[in-house]
Each structure stands twice: as structure tokens, then as C-alpha cells.
Structure 1
């Protein structure tokens, strides 16, 4: 029983470590790489080095791959690459914590689309309210840049796709699917970064910091996420990551001096509460026999 309880914590701990590592790496990238190579170049070195690191570590050519699995991995990787690119483009003009909160609409949608209980509509309403407070539509009361918000929303769509396609490939060895997925992601984003930043990508500073960012914000978090995906359904995975907007906002406050208003913190809290509430609903639906 004790071992079983510890085993049940593995997905949660994996996602917590993933979220923290991702936040640290992204903050470092925004502070150091953005001024040198821009969002596109930052995405290129981050994803490119991540792919290289995991290809060398896991050597995925050792495993065979069926055509259907290859298709799932390519789609998973393409969604991952597009998600990273759109998210970093959003970070140019909106705070890290808010970008994550908006992007989080993707996994939250995955979670709620599988829900059927009347209570789930309350979580939807709460999430929409939180997003409505953040989004600069109408009278632009939030003061956020519309272009940055649009990129964050695009990242949300790709994040949802990443979860769905990642689950389809989750029966594969985690190192196999993640390394090949990042290779596909690199094929998507590296050309964009090269076109934007050119030879600046070859600067020793960019290469050294890019390698560190790749390790902290891509290679480690994605591997941990695949560990969690193998043990969780898509909706539960999306829900447990509800901690990410708050973690991102706190790290951005400490590392980037990005201060949020009380209303913006409230909006983030609404989105997280919707995710947590949906998590309870999903768990009860999956295991109705559990009462405590």
C-alpha cells in the first residue's frame, strides 16, 4: 500500500519538477538570449540543442518505429516546436506569468472536452472569466499587447495538440518518443531562427547559454512530462499542470522583475482554480469507488 501511494506521487512530482525547470530556463532565456538573437533565435537554439542532447543520450535509432507511431511522433514534435515558437514570440511583449496563463487554455480545453458533468460548466465559466480579465479585447483594460496575446493563444492551441499527440506516442519508450519528437520540433523552428538571427546564432555566448537553456527548459521538462503522460490520461495531465501559471509568475517576479497587478493575479488564480476543480471532477469520474 505504501509503495503504491509513493508510486501515485510520481506523475505529480514529475510535473512539478518539469514546471519549475521550465520556468527557470525560460526566464534565463528571456533575460540573456532575447537581446542577442530575438525570440526566434532563442527558440532555435533551445529546441535545436535539446534535440541534439536527447538524440545523443537516448540514441533512438536503436528502436524500431511503426509507421503509425512515426506519424504520431512527428505530429507531437511539430506541435511542440510551434508551441515553443509562438510562446517565445508572446514573451516579447507580455509578462511570462500571463503568457503561461493564456497558453494554459490549451491543456485546460483538453481536460474539459472529455467532461460531461454539469459541474464542469462551472469550471469552464471560471476559466473563461479569468481569461476574459487577462485578454486585451474590447476596451483593452488589461494593458496587454494584442499581438503578444495572439501568439500566446496560438501557443495554447499547439499545447493542446502536443498533449493529444504525445498521449498517442506515450506507449513508446519516453526517450524514444521525446528525442524523435524534439528532432521534428527542431526541423520546424531552427530554419525560422536562422532566417531571423543569422550568424548571431554562432556567437559563443549564444551557444553556451543556449545549451544551458536547452537542458533546463526543454530536455529535462519534456522528458519528465513524458514520464507523467505514461501514467496519466490527457485530461489529468493537463489539470495537474495548473500550478504552472503561478510558478511562472513567481519566477518572473523574482528573476525578471515582472510585476503583475492584483487583478491579473486574480485572473491567474481563476484559471488555476478552474483546472483544480476540473481535476477533482475528472478523478471522481475515473474512479467512482474512491470516497476518501
Structure 2
């Protein structure tokens, strides 16, 4: 079967305007906002800890830093604060905990989104949207980390291996969310399912990348023209969920196209098999 990219892309956009799409947008927006606050707070807290450590170590002949180095660190801290308009004054360990917690929440939201976009119902979440949510979330999170490591290593090895790994494991989360696979089996199932359509899937991934780049442009323009950092951050928070949900919907539709075709194919031992009715009477 040849994957219909146009159909997947069209489905990706159309799902955004449904009731489920709007509901998921709000969820992703809230999760993204809290995650951004935590990440920016962590960045500032880390720089503050570094500056305090440098100040404690001292400067001069008996110190670990020169006055110039200490001033450079302070300038970097001021720059980081300016680039983190949503940062709040919390201990670094608290920020780390929130970042990790909301990474899991984001994973859970992704699993619910996959199930919602795989359903024919668009005005209410499917009944199984939260089934086994803890299990699928943990598998999706660990599988995502494993995939990220593999792709990073592949990209370091002349880029193409990383692209290949990303394409063949594209349906990792769909296998987990829709078929309740553990992440190891999901990787294997995705690898098998993509056979014969990997060039086409690369085209789909390219479309997703282009959409993501277009989504980044407004905030990049604001930054480039020297606009307020808060405005650029706000634009990114609003556009981010749209790009993410489009990608989930389009990928899920592509997955369903291939999975439906695979399920409809007869097994190898059924092809050409003769039954009693196939034998002509003498």
C-alpha cells in the first residue's frame, strides 16, 4: 500500500478545528505554560547557584576566579534572567521536580491525543482515552527517551542513520497508545509497519518539520527585531500546541492507514489455500 500523505496532512489540520482538537489545545497550552515556567526557573536558578559558588570561591590571587571571570558569570546571569521572563524564584531542585513531573503529564496528554485522533468521534473524548494511562505514559516516556538517544547517536553518525531511525520508529507512541504495547514491542512493531513506505514516511516527516519551522517563525521574528522577550515566549506557547497536535493527528492518521491495510491483508498461509468449494466437481 502507498501511504497517502495528503490525506494524513489534511486530517492533521482538520482535527485541530474539532471540539476534541480545541480541548486538547487548551490542555497542551496549560502543560506547556507550566513546563516553560519550570524550565526557565531552573535555568535561572542554575546560573544563580553558579554565581554564588564563584563568589564563595573568591577572586584574586587566592581565589578560584579572576574578577573578570566573575563579572562574566554575573553578566551571563543577567542575560539568562532577561531571556526567562516567566521564571519564578524557586529552588533548583523544586524546578527539576516540576520539569520532570510535567514531562510525564505531557506524555500522558500525548497518549490521550493519539486515542482521540484515532477515534471517529470528534466532539467528545473516546471512552478508552484514559485506559491504562499510567502504563502507557511510562512506556511512552521511556520509549521516547530511548528513541531520542538512538536518533541523537544516529545524527552524530553522518545524519542519515538518525533520520532513518526516526522514520522507522515513527509510530512508537501509536503502538503504545492504541495497541497497549510495551516500548520494546512498540519499537519492533513500528519498524515492521513502516517497511515498504519509509520513503513516503520521510516525506511526511519533512512536512511536519516544515510546519514546525513555520510555527517558530513568529517568535523568531519578534526576537530578531528586538521585541519583548515575553511576547516571543507567549507566541511560542500559543503556537507550540498547534504544531504538536497537528503532528500527532497527521502521524496517527498515517499509522491508521498502514495498520488498516496490514490487518486487511491475508496471512501468508491463507494465500492460495484451497477449500472444499474450490475443488471442481468431476
Report if TM-score (shorter chain) is over 0.5.
no
| Structure of higher CA gyration radius | 2
Considering Cα pairs closer than 8 Å and 6+ residues apart, tell me whether 1 or 2 has the greater RCO.
1
TM-score by length of structure 2 reads 0.27
TM-score using structure 1 length: 0.27
Which protein has the bigger helix share?
1
